[in-house]
Structure 1
Amino acid sequence: MKKFVLGLICGIGLTATTAVYAVDTIQAYLFPAKFEFNGVTKEMNNKEYVVLNHNGHAYVPIRFVAENMGALVKYEDTTKTISIEQTNLSKKLPLDKDFFSYASEGKIKGIEFGIGSNKNDIIQKWGEPQKTGSWQTQYFSWFDYYYFFGNPDESVSAIRVGGDTVKYTVDELKKVIGEPKDEGLNDVESGWYLYYEAGDYQVFFNADTKNGVIKYLTLKKR
């Protein structure tokens, strides 16, 4: 799916210097605006996103704004529809007594797609991924959720969750879900690992130190 730079009218008077012409029908100007979300300044990638001034109104990239406010943006080409939806993907992962119940089904509580989910179904529901890359296996990421598609049918083979979404201390983790089956120094990636099992699934937590803060968790089938 092509990426679209979509605008939201802010309705404020602006001035600028550089003219831009879109489809030979309107004249607009690049505007070097800064963004703050709940008091936190966010830098915009000027190579991908721009802010425009047209007739005294600011047009901002809707995907950049929506995602920084914790929402998913999708564009349906056939109906020319832009949809914005709130999502649990942008919220802190809930660690509670139900954690292993969901993990035993290859899922993370509050997130509808788990291990074995179809790649196209996820994209249809969540829209184009915010980032793609590879950690030995190709992944697509939405907020702090990284979905790996290592199976021949491109279904989900593993899920990694990192960032502020899973920022608990090791002590907080153990108090909520109990002592791990195994733990120790991580020989592959720096830090301290904690290993749990839930049915046919494995759950790895990686912290910066033995008593430090969780950096990410990984859920995969045994």
Structure 2
Amino acid sequence: MKKIILGLILGIGLTATTGVFASNIIQTTLFPAKFLFNGAPKEANGNEYVVLNHNGHVYVPVRFVAESMGALVKYEDTTKTISIDQTNLSKKLPLDKDFFSYVSEGKIKGIEFGIGSNKQDIVKEWGDPQKTGSWQTPYYSWFDYYYFFGNPDESVSAIRVGGDTVKYSVVDVKKIIGGPIDEGVNDVENGWYLYYEAGEYQVFFNADSKNGMIRYMTLKKK
């Protein structure tokens, strides 16, 4: 059986590197492959990421692989450096006795950037966002963390955390951090909300029902 050796290709949109390798052209073929991360299947977007075979070596897109394993990928064009770093952004939102002490400063425990942080500083530290968009206000997202830049200077005006990162029930939230100041039907997004305050900041937990699972948590200034 022919031995297949696994390698990594960058796969994060490095258009600036084309000239660097123009004199060292290599021939490759597309390699059909399925990915399992800790036993769970995940499909790579064929329009964005491809797997290549070169002389029996299989090269996979580093951004897809690293982010699927919970790491951030950054590329510094000046030094041609690829950085892969572990991050708390891919871990479950910490709800504990310290939750409100961080919220009172506009922050989330374990995450270095909070309300008022500069957009450029965030991108410099975390790399290009995995997704951009707008929910009334433009946002950048890394994993399940959505940073909204609604202030005039484009600093962070709100942070929303969703997905598996907030896999708590309404009962869990109340048991861990206590009862809310207010709660009720969420008329905007058809669910249930819990409302808390700490210092100058507000926290909303939005759930799918009164005793259901949390969809997302939002932190913003009053």
* Residue pairs, 1:23-172, within 5 angstroms: 23=22, 25-172=25-172
Give the C-alpha shift of residue 96 in structure 1. Answer: 0.2
Aligned residues: 204
Secondary structure of the equivalent of 1:10? strand
One-letter amino acid of the counterpart of residue 122, structure 2: I
Partner of 1:217: 217
Deviations 1:41-82 (A, max 9, x none): 001110011000011101100000000000000000000000
Letter paired with 1:80? K
Q: Give the SS at the match of 2:173.
A: helix
For 2:162 and 2:27, locate their aligned partners in 1 and report how far apart those are by CA, in whole Å: 42
- The yes-or-no answer on 1:201 pairing with 2:197 is no
SS at match of 1:82: strand
SS at match of 1:97: coil
Letter aligned with residue 55 of structure 2? N
Tell me, in whole angstroms, the C-alpha distance in 2 between the residues paired with 1:176 and 1:98: 11
Structure 1 letter corresponding to 2:135: W
Deviation for aligned residue 1:93: 0.7
Q: Is the partner of 1:26 in helix, strand or coil?
A: coil
Whole-Å separation in 2 of the counterparts to 1:37 and 1:74: 21
State the shift of 1:178 in Å. Answer: 0.5
Task: Give, in whole Å, the separation in 1 of the partners of 2:26 and 2:92.
Answer: 42
Distance 1:108 1:140 in 2: 17
Tell me how far apart the structure 2 counterparts of residues 10 and 154 of structure 1 sit (CA, whole Å).
42
The AA in structure 2 aligned to 1:86 is Q
Deviation at 1:32, TM superposition (A): 1.5
Distance in 2 between the 1:51 and 1:104 partners?
46
> What is residue 6 of structure 1 aligned with on the other side?
none
Deviation per CA, 1:103-144: give whole Å up to 9, x if none.
000000000000000000000000000000000000000000
| Identical aligned residues as a percent | 80
Which string of whole-angstrom CA distances, capped at 9 and with x for unpartnered residues, describes residues 76-103 of structure 1? 0000000000000000011001000000
Letter in 2 for 1:175: K
Compute the displacement of 1:161 (Å): 0.1
Paired with 1:198 and 1:164, the residues of 2 have a C-alpha distance of 24
Structure-1 separation of matches of 2:160 and 2:128 = 18
Ranges of 4+ aligned residues in structure 1 off by more than 3 Å: none
**Separation (CA, whole Å) in 1 of partners of 2:202 and 2:71:** 29
Give distance in 2, aligned partners of 1:74 and 1:10. Answer: 21
* 2:176 alignment partner AA: V
2: distance between equivalents of 1:141 and 1:188? 22
How many angstroms apart in 2 are the aligned matches of 1:185 and 1:165? Answer: 23
Counterpart CA distance in 2 for 1:172 and 1:204 is 15
- Paired with 1:110 and 1:101, the residues of 2 have a C-alpha distance of 12
1:25 CA displacement: 1.2
